[in-house]
Amino acid sequence: MGRRPRDLDRDATAIKAAAERLLAGTPLRSASGKLTATELIVEAGLRRDVVYPHHQDLVDEFRLRAQAQDRVPTAAQELAERYAAVTEELKEARQQLAEERKLTRYLRRTTVELAIEAENLRRDQEDAADATVVSMQRRRGPGRRFPPSGPES
C-alpha cells in the first residue's frame, strides 16, 4: 500500500485562499495574522515540506503582495491593540499585587504582635487568679480610732 499522490491543485488553491484572507486581515487559522510566509503556510493548513518544493512561486507572489500592501492587516492591528491593553492591565495588576503584599506583611506583623499581647494578658490573668488575696479587716470599736493617731497601750 502506497501513499496517495498529493493533489497539488488543491494545495495551490488553499495557499491562494490563505493569501487572500491574510491580505484582507481576516485569517482563519493564523493566530497573529502577520504577512509572513510562515503565517501563509499556517493559514493554508499545510506543511512546509509540501509548500516550498511545489509552490514556491505562490509564496514569492504572496511576499511581493504583502510588501506592496501599505497597511497593517486588521488582525495584526487588533492583536497589537490587545497586546497594549493586556500589557497595561498587567502593569496595573503588578502594582496592585505589590500593594497587597505590603498590606499582607503589615497584617502578619500586626497579627503576631496581637497574639503576643493576648498571650501576655492571659498569663497576667492566670497569675492574678493564682495570687491569694488577704483581706485586712479594720477594727473599729469604742475607744479605737483607725488609723491610730498615737501610741497604743
Give the domain ranges of the chain.
8-71, 74-127
pLDDT value of position 153: 47
Structural element, H or E, at residue 67: helix 48-68
Q: How many Å apart are CA 48 and CA 41, to the nearest integer?
A: 7
Return averaged pLDDT per consecutive 10 residues of the chain, 153 residues in all. 78 93 87 87 91 91 84 72 93 97 97 94 82 62 56 51
Q: How many Å apart are CA 88 and CA 97, to the nearest integer?
A: 14
User: What grid cell was written down for 72?
Assistant: 497593517
Q: How many Å apart are CA 27 and CA 62, to the nearest integer?
A: 14
User: What grid cell was written down for 19?
Assistant: 493569501
CB neighbourhood size of 69 (10 A):
13
Structural element, H or E, at residue 75: helix 74-130
pLDDT value of position 2: 62
Whole-prediction pTM = 0.46
User: What grid cell was written down for 133?
Assistant: 488575696
20-57 burial: b if 16+ Cβ within 10 Å, else e:
ebbbebebeebebbbbebebbbbbbebeeebbeeebee
Say which residues have a Cβ less than 8 Å from residue 39's Cβ, sequence separation at least 6: 22, 27, 30, 32, 33
